[in-house]
């Protein structure tokens, strides 16, 4: 379903349903004073990267509520990534498809039936002011309903049935705000959750790829692209995905690719099959057989993660690939501008976030449903020069080479 249509449905139908449901919904805030909640529903419909940014929150639930049973509601297209994270059992994942309004409604009814059967105690709505997620929260049957709330800020109307309203803070990383949702369950302050953000370094799960899968991918690459088999591979992701305003200029990607190829590296352009035209344009600019089109080459997200284990560097727009790389040894350079790494930066220590904040940046916010007012001239990204990127790329490639050498020495000693 087109993202603009989703916004319209949420604005028109969602707000109407929120008003109707608010008339009939009770405001109960307790499941009984004699026990803590034990069945949690986490609602996270948006991009796959957000699922990873919610990882610390899921760990907080497990640590605080030892016998917790956690369920997650997400879009069907995000299920695979949640399964890869392996934080909850696969049978505890509820999904809805968003391909059309009809499939969304049919799947919503089925998912809500499963939620009611699971007897949810507390729902944690991680969406930033979307109305459909708050409706799911109410209809799940949870007596404790946690979600973001504008308080005295002007924000989107989401009904009056969120009984654990958490102040959305646009100055705090979203992973910390997700943790606030957990903290709000047993708080009674106004606004809820007055605490110091955790300064602990988040330990992300590492996706372990079997050596046989690496060898299979390597054999496939050598067969399909023998011209790059002896070269270190740099991956480029030039697409902006659902939000084209997040894309660094394609001509800049071309310039970076030409320089990397001149230095003896191989370049692979990744993305969906729909991104093939961008890959072809980069290849046309470079005129080098060492620049290969890998759009649509990885059939699944797991395949992409295997490819990440074989590459030396990823250069990417803000989006899923940068977050996926944080689960692997692959270093990444990630471009921000319409969104900010202060809120949405990856949680690993090896990624480089390039961000030049202008007076209008970031322009994709929770308050505009990530619908930028920009006319398409994303100066915030254009100010990040190919020269800056090449300098960082060379630095990361050198560091990555040193790590590879140390690993080879350690393997030889073993």
User: Is residue 20 in a domain?
Assistant: yes
User: Is residue 52 in a domain?
Assistant: yes
- Neighbouring CB atoms inside 10 A of 282's CB total 22
Q: Are residues 275 and 360 in the same domain?
A: yes
Q: Give φ, ψ of 235 to 5 degrees.
A: -100, 140
Q: Are residues 16 and 161 in the same domain?
A: yes
Q: Are residues 176 and 254 in the same domain?
A: no
* Tens digits of pLDDT across the chain (414 residues): 777 788 888 888 888 888 888 887 765 555 544 568 999 999 999 778 889 999 999 999 999 998 899 999 999 999 999 999 889 999 999 999 988 889 999 999 999 999 999 999 999 999 987 899 999 999 999 999 999 988 887 777 888 889 999 999 888 999 999 999 999 998 888 888 888 887 777 778 888 899 999 999 999 999 999 999 999 999 999 999 888 999 999 999 999 999 999 999 999 999 999 999 999 999 999 999 999 999 999 999 999 999 999 999 999 999 999 999 999 999 999 999 999 999 999 999 899 999 999 999 999 988 887 889 999 899 999 999 999 999 999 999 998 876 654 453 344 334
Nearest to 52 by CA among 81, 22, 80, 32: 81
Q: Are residues 133 and 251 in the same domain?
A: no
Q: Are residues 253 and 174 in the same domain?
A: no
Question: Tokens at residue 17, please?
Answer: 């349903």
Q: Are residues 266 and 180 in the same domain?
A: no
For residue 136, what are the contacts with CB-CB under 8 A and spacing of at least 6? 43, 73, 108, 111, 112, 115, 123, 125
Helix (H) or strand (E) holding 40: strand 39-43
Domain that holds residue 132: 3-186
Provide the CATH number for the domain around residue 23. Answer: 3.40.50.2000
List C-alpha distances in Å: 181 to 7, 121, 249.
Answer: 24, 14, 37
By the 8 A CB rule, do 151 and 166 touch? no
- Neighbouring CB atoms inside 10 A of 113's CB total 11
Last residue of a domain, one of 170, 186, 202: 186
Chain centre distance of CA 404: 28
Global pTM?
A: 0.89
Q: Are residues 172 and 249 in the same domain?
A: no
Chain centre distance of CA 349: 17
Q: Are residues 359 and 284 in the same domain?
A: yes
Tell me how many domains the chain contains.
Answer: 2
Question: Tokens at residue 111, please?
Answer: 């998912």
> How far is 400 from 363, CA to CA, in rounded Å?
34
Q: Are residues 296 and 374 in the same domain?
A: yes
Question: Tokens at residue 24, please?
Answer: 């009939």
User: Is residue 36 in a domain?
Assistant: yes
């Amino acid at each position: 379903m087109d993202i603009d249509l989703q916004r319209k449905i949420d604005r028109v139908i969602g707000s109407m349903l929120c008003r109707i449901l608010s008339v009939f919904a009770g405001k109960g805030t307790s499941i009984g004073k004699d026990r803590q909640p034990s069945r949690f529903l986490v609602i996270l419909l948006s991009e796959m990267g957000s699922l990873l940014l919610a990882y610390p929150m899921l760990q907080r639930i497990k640590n605080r509520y030892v016998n917790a049973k956690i369920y997650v509601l997400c879009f069907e297209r995000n299920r695979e990534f949640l399964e890869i994270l392996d934080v909850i059992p696969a049978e505890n994942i509820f999904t809805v498809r968003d391909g059309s309004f009809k499939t969304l409604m049919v799947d919503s009814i089925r998912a809500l039936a499963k939620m009611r059967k699971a007897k949810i105690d507390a729902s944690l709505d991680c969406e930033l002011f979307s109305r459909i997620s708050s409706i799911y929260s109410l209809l799940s049957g949870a007596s404790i309903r946690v979600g973001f709330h504008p308080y005295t800020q002007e924000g989107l109307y989401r009904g009056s049935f969120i009984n654990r309203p958490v102040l959305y803070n646009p100055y705090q990383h979203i992973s910390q705000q997700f943790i606030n949702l957990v903290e709000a369950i047993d708080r009674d302050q106004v606004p809820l959750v007055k605490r110091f953000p955790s300064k602990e370094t988040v330990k992300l799960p590492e996706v372990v790829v079997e050596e046989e899968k690496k060898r299979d991918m390597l054999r496939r690459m050598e067969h399909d692209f023998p011209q790059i088999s002896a070269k270190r591979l740099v991956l480029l992701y030039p697409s902006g995905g659902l939000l084209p305003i997040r894309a660094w200029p394609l001509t800049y990607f071309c310039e970076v690719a030409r320089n990397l190829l001149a230095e003896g590296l191989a370049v692979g352009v990744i993305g969906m099959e729909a991104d093939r035209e961008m890959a072809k344009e980069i290849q046309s600019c470079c005129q080098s057989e060492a620049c290969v089109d890998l759009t649509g080459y990885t059939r699944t997200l797991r395949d992409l993660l295997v490819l990440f284990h074989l590459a030396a560097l990823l250069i990417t727009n803000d989006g899923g690939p940068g977050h996926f790389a944080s689960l692997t040894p692959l270093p990444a350079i990630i471009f921000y501008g319409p969104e900010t790494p202060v809120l949405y930066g990856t949680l690993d220590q090896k990624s480089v976030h390039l961000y030049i904040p202008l007076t209008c940046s970031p322009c994709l916010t929770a308050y505009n449903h990530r619908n930028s007012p920009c006319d398409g001239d994303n100066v915030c990204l254009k100010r990040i020069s190919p020269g800056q990127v090449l300098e960082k790329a060379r630095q990361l490639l050198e560091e990555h080479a040193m790590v590879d050498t140390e690993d080879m020495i350690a393997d030889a000693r073993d």
